[in-house]
Structure 1
Amino acid sequence: MKTFKLIKLQIVESDNTRNFSLLDGLIINKEDDKHTWILEAFLRDDDLDYFQRIQQKREDIEVLAVITNERNDPASLFAQVHEVRQIGDKVSVLFKGQLKNQRNEYAGQLLDHLVSHTDLTGNALIDTFREQMKKRPRLNKS
C-alpha cells in the first residue's frame, strides 16, 4: 500500500463541483487486484448531514482529489462514502473507490468544448485551457 497527503477535496454534482474546506486528509492506494483507493477527509462538522445523506444512498459519486501538492491536477475517483464519523466539532469521511484514469480524455474534451463554444484563440485560448484543466469544470455532453 502507498499513502499520500490529500490536499483538496471536491464532489462532482450534476453540472457543477462542490468544494469542501479540508482540514486534513490522506489517500491510500491499496494496490490490490481491484485497484481500490481509500480516501479519508477530515472536515468541519457542518458537512456532516451532506455526507450522511450520500452514505445512505450507497451510490457511487465522482470525487476529485488533489494529492500531495496543490499544483497537481485532481485525480478523479468513483467512490462510495463508506463511513461518516463525528469527532468533536469535526467530521471524518471515509471513501472507498476506484481511480478513473481520464486526464487525456478530459483534456481533449475540454479543448473541443473551448474551440466550439467560445471565440477564444491564441494565448487567451491557451490560458483558459490551463485554468480550466486545474478547475476541471463539468462538461456538457452536447
Structure 2
Amino acid sequence: MKTFKLVGVQVIDDHLHRQQIPLIDGLIINKEDGRNRWLVETYIDKQYEPLFAKLQRSQDEVRLEVTISHTGNDPAYMLATIHSVTSMKEHISVLMEGLMIRNRTDLAEIVLAGLVEKGLQGEALLKEFKHELHERRGMKWREPVKVDQATKG
C-alpha cells in the first residue's frame, strides 16, 4: 500500500454541484489490490457530520473529487462509500473506501463542458474557463492586465 497526503476533497451531488470540504488533515491510500481501490481518511470540522452521517446511512456511492499531494495537481475522481464517521471534540474523522475512476475525462474538458452548458461564449467563456480551471487546481488566478498598444514604449 502507498500513502499520500490528501490536500483537497469535494463531494459531488446528483446535480453535479460540488461542495468543497475544508480539510484539517487527510490521507489517501492506494490499496494496490489490483482493483484500483483506495482508502480516504479526512479530518474535518464537526459541522460536516450531518452530511457524512446521511451519506453513510444511505449506503449509496458518493462521487468525490480528490486532490493528492499538492494543490496544483489535477483532481482525481472517485466513487466511494462511507465506512465510518467518528466524532471527536470539535472535529470528525471520515473513513471512505472507493474506486479511482481512471477513464475520467480530462479536467479541462469537464470545466469547458460545464461552462458551455451555462451558455457562455467568446471572451466570457475564455475568461471563466481560465478562472475555473485555476480554481479547481487550487491555484490563485488573476485576470491578466491588458496593455494598450498606444501606451507601449
SS of corresponding position for 1:34: coil
Distance change >3 Å, CA 61–CA 135, structure 1 → 2: farther
Deviation sequence 1:76-135 (CA, Å, 0-9, x none): 10001111101222100001010112142x5335435556732225xx655533433345
Q: Tell whether the 8 Å contact from 1:85 to 1:92 is kept in structure 2 after alignment.
A: yes
The Cα RMSD (Å) is: 2.1
Decide whether aligned partners of structure 1 residues 46 and 111 sit closer, same or farther in structure 2, where only a CA change above 3 A counts. closer
Structure 2: 5+ residue stretches without partners:
137-153
CA 1:134 to 1:75, structure 2 compared with 1: closer, same or farther past 3 Å?
farther
TM-score (norm 1): 0.81
Is the Cα contact below 8 Å between 1:51 and 1:81 reproduced in 2? yes
Structure-1 residue corresponding to 2:80: 79
Distance 1:2 1:103, change over 3 A: farther
Q: Number of aligned pairs?
A: 133
Q: Whose radius of gyration is greater, 1 or 2?
A: 2
Match of 1:139 in 2: none
CA deviation vs aligned residue, 1:10-46 (integer Å, no higher than 9, x gap): 1002231001121000000001122100000001111
* Residue identity in the other structure for 1:129: F
Structure 1 stretches of 5 or more lacking a match?
Answer: 137-142
**Distance (whole Å) between structure 2 residues aligned to residue 113 and residue 22 of structure 1:** 26
Q: Percent identity?
A: 31
Equivalent residue number for residue 22 of structure 1: 23
CA contact (8 A) 1:66 1:72 kept: yes
Question: Partner amino acid for 2:44?
Answer: L
- The one-letter amino acid paired with 1:23 is I
Higher relative contact order (CA 8 A, sep 6+): 1
Which letter maps to 1:83?
A: S
- In the superposition, the TM-score normalised over structure 2's length comes to 0.76
Single out whichever of 65-74 and 126-135 deviates more from structure 2.
126-135
Cα distance between partner residues in 1 of 2:100 and 2:115: 26
Give the aligned partner of residue 59 of structure 1: 60
Partner secondary structure for residue 3 of structure 1 = strand
Tell me the distance in 1 between the aligned counterparts of 2:78 and 2:51: 19
